């Protein structure tokens, strides 16, 4: 079972060195030894976020960090602008609603990126918007939103800029300080290639000022408690953290540092380009608009006359490659190839080849080798 | 660093077989393969809870499960009776408050167990109490509360019975169905001896009825979402779970099943008895009242003239044994020996011997070997 190649948008394949680090003996989570591990891990995390601010590691999924972000700054009745162009944009809005905030939804067609001018328009029209949420990389559609441009706009208003980089951090440019991001969240199991179960968050000084004035509506995800425990000697987490996953996170971040952020982003860009070119060469259609296509996941329209079950089922059962299906109204209409984390030309080419064989087997008009050739070319141009 | 013996009330030492299971390759969390792992793990979890109801595994600490329990059944203004005799009893009350509930605190002196008659009195006096919370094993004081007796009383009233068995399940008797428990929560890293980072929860039919009528005040810990995802084919979790920790949890539960729950509880009882007898033989004083002393953690009053730093510092630095300190107002006044999880006579005797040497080194009037002899005797009586 474990030889399946994961080409889904997280969890991604975890390197043996990280799995090994994870299986070290458990230590006391309130000890100097573990405090050092927290310090080292969160410092690397801030480096990856490209911020001078403190980072925190939460035990939970990326969704937990999204909720930690909003629950810490939104009070009942607060106005929030949610940019929604996919499932995770929706999730930010749902979380805001659970905590009693009043969302203004900026609806973006799935497959498209947000137009920064639309954000500006709403911020000019609507008073008292306390926070703007955006999903950098919309995993459900394979779209990357222009977070730098939106950041410039939000910066001119008195609103916090809250960015979900769960499926982009480590695989695309994210400059938290450079983009004026106030709260940035990410997950362990995407481009950082650590096992799932941890999330990270960083908050600006402006964000902390709002946190301090906002009544708490969550206990487990209360960032005030994280700040307090994190600033002790030794630094701790407020509740027992996943010690093993923290080992894994540290090791995965070592690997990120060794590769270098810039090279890592470049590697993701190439994998994305190779995938898109291969898909087009095979005569299939991309779901996302070309100018906003993601570095880390590619959504592809389901070819006419083929079902999701046939396509992904064959890939999984015959070729042992897991791809992702469509979510919500895209279910059955798209399939998605995740190319994040430790993905190289080898996995991309294997996947494209298996896809060619699968489609040929399903009697589609496919010219074997054309997709693979296009992927190879993309890698050779570089 | 990793050779330190953990004699703290969690995380506890994790067996090599569990660490090994944890380092298996990651699979797709939304696959049939992982669905089977969820099913197997949650079924064993229900067996350990001794309930016919469904169990759910959350990625998070025991506190996350405590919040999942209360946030799912308490609405703003709802009345809740919190039995508070230590730090974790307080935590239940704080969580209730964060979610807008109105607590009645039944204060119990630290070191004592609750008197079930006091619970009855309050339930008779106060109308409309929606839920009663109790901590089975108060880790902060080494006290075990009479959850069976309190369950009989709560059963006569129209209130949900919410029990924290984070540090008792697997080390003491917990019959969720037999004790009329409506919501029971536990953690992975205590008596179950899995790594920290997962928690489990089970809800009765009565509890689910209340959940369905209660507006959601949490997103990540919303049990409705867990139920929905958990009942699909394959069963899933609403958000990406910690795949590696689920492997570990399954393996740890296999080990629990192999030992048998009854034998496991018996082993904990013996470890507790040996520890208490040794402590008394050394002339030290136990913190908890004898009739409510815990199976899984023993709190000991700090000997006159010795500081926490000297005592626990020597144990840690010289003998590589981690014990826990006191919490809140007990800081510096007690130290705690955790004897939960995979603890046998070997670890108990090692710890007592090191404690004898430490106290002797600190020039206390200690007769070397007397504590160890008392521990040995306890083990031999059996």
pLDDT tens profile A253-290: 999 999 999 999 999 999 999 999 999 999 999 999 99
Tell me the torsion sign for CA atoms B241, B244, B249, B250. Answer: positive
Spacing of C-alpha A274 from chain mean position: 20
Rounded Cα gap, residues B188 and B58, in angstroms: 10
Distances (CA, A) of B286 to B293, B297, B342: 9, 11, 23
Whether the per-residue pLDDT at A1 is higher than 80: the answer is no
pLDDT for B381:
86
Domains of chain A, by residue range, sit at: 5-9+260-381, 24-258
pLDDT for B159:
98
Q: What is the mean pLDDT of chain A?
A: 97
Q: What is the DSSP letter of A27?
A: -
pLDDT above 70 coverage of chain B, percent: 99
Identify which of A69, A60, A66, A19 has the alpha carbon closest to the alpha carbon of residue A241: A60
B148 touches chain A (CB under 8 A): no
- Partners of A98 on chain B (C-beta within 8 Å) are 216-219, 222
Identify which of B281, B313, B285 has the alpha carbon closest to the alpha carbon of residue B299: B285
Cβ–Cβ gap B60/A63 under 8 Å: no
Rounded mean pLDDT of A340-355? Answer: 97
Distance in angstroms between the alpha carbons of the first and the last residue of chain A: 35
pLDDT for A382:
66
pLDDT confidence tier of residue B3, bands split at 50, 70 and 90: confident
pLDDT confidence tier of residue A363, bands split at 50, 70 and 90: very high
pLDDT digits (tens, 9 = 90+) for A146-173: 999 999 999 999 999 999 999 999 999 9
- Partners of B61 on chain A (C-beta within 8 Å) are 59, 220, 239-241
Rounded mean pLDDT of B174-194? Answer: 98
Cβ–Cβ gap B27/A4 under 8 Å: yes
Cβ–Cβ gap A98/B189 under 8 Å: no
B5-9+260-381 and B23-258 agree in CATH topology: no
Distances (CA, A) of B96 to A115, B69, B72, B78, B104: 42, 10, 11, 9, 10
pLDDT digits (tens, 9 = 90+) for B206-260: 999 999 999 999 999 999 999 999 999 999 999 999 999 999 999 999 999 999 9
Judged by CB atoms within 8 Å, which residues 39-98 of A form the interface with B?
A: 59-64, 67, 91, 94-95, 98
- Partners of A59 on chain B (C-beta within 8 Å) are 59-61, 64, 196-197, 242
pLDDT for A375:
97
Rounded mean pLDDT of B161-167? Answer: 98
- 3 state DSSP class of B374: helix
Residue A351, both tokens: 């996947």
Residue B122, both tokens: 């309050």
pLDDT for A381:
86
Of the candidates B29, B219, B220, the beta carbon closest to that of A196 is on B29
pLDDT confidence tier of residue A293, bands split at 50, 70 and 90: very high
A32 touches chain B (CB under 8 A): no
CA angle centred on A93, ends A91 and A95, rounded to 5°: 70
Residue A125, both tokens: 């029209």
pLDDT confidence tier of residue B382, bands split at 50, 70 and 90: low
Whether the per-residue pLDDT at B1 is higher than 90: the answer is no
Rounded mean pLDDT of B105-111? Answer: 98
> What are the DSSP calls for A108-154, one per residue?
--TTSPPPHHHHHHHHHHSS-EEEEEEESEETTTTEE--HHHHHHHH
pLDDT above 90 coverage of chain B, percent: 98
A9 touches chain B (CB under 8 A): no
Whether the per-residue pLDDT at A86 is higher than 80: the answer is yes
The CATH class of the B5-9+260-381 domain is: alpha beta
Whether the per-residue pLDDT at B2 is higher than 70: the answer is no
pLDDT for A2:
46
> What CATH number does the domain located at A24-258 have?
3.40.640.10
> What CATH number does the domain located at B23-258 have?
3.40.640.10
């Amino acid at each position: 079972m474990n030889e399946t190649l994961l080409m889904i948008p997280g969890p991604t394949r975890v390197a043996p060195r990280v799995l090994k680090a994870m299986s070290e003996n458990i230590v006391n989570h309130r000890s100097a030894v573990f405090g050092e591990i927290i310090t080292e891990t969160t410092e690397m995390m801030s480096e990856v976020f490209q911020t001078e601010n403190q980072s925190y590691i939460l035990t939970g999924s990326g969704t937990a960090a999204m909720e930690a972000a909003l629950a810490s700054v939104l009070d009942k009745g607060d106005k929030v602008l949610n940019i929604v162009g996919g499932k995770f944009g929706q999730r930010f809005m749902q979380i805001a609603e659970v905590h009693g905030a009043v969302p203004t939804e900026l609806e973006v067609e799935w497959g498209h990126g947000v137009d920064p001018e639309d954000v500006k328009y709403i911020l000019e029209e609507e008073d008292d918007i306390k926070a703007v949420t955006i999903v950098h990389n919309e995993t459900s559609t394979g779209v990357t939103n222009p977070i730098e441009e939106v950041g410039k706009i939000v910066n001119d208003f008195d609103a916090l800029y809250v960015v979900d980089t769960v499926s982009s951090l480590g695989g695309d440019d994210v400059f938290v300080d450079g983009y004026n991001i106030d709260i940035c969240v990410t997950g362990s199991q995407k481009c950082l290639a650590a096992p799932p179960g941890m999330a990270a968050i960083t908050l600006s000084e402006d964000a902390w000022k709002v946190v301090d004035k906002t009544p708490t509506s969550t206990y487990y995800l209360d960032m005030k408690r994280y700040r307090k425990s994190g600033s002790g000697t030794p630094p701790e987490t407020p509740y027992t953290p996943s010690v093993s996953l923290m080992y894994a996170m540290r090791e995965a971040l070592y690997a990120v540092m060794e590769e270098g952020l810039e090279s890592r982003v470049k590697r993701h860009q190439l994998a994305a380009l190779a995938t898109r070119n291969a898909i087009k060469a095979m005569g299939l259609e991309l779901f996302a608009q070309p100018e906003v296509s993601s570095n880390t996941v590619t959504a592809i329209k389901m070819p006419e006359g083929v079902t999701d079950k046939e396509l992904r089922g064959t890939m999984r059962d015959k070729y042992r490659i897991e791809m992702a299906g469509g979510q919500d109204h895209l279910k059955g209409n798209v399939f998605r190839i995740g190319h994040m984390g430790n993905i190289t030309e080898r996995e991309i080419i294997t996947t494209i080849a298996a896809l060619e064989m699968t489609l040929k087997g399903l009697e589609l008009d496919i010219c074997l080798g054309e997709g693979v050739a296009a992927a190879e070319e993309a890698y050779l141009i570089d």
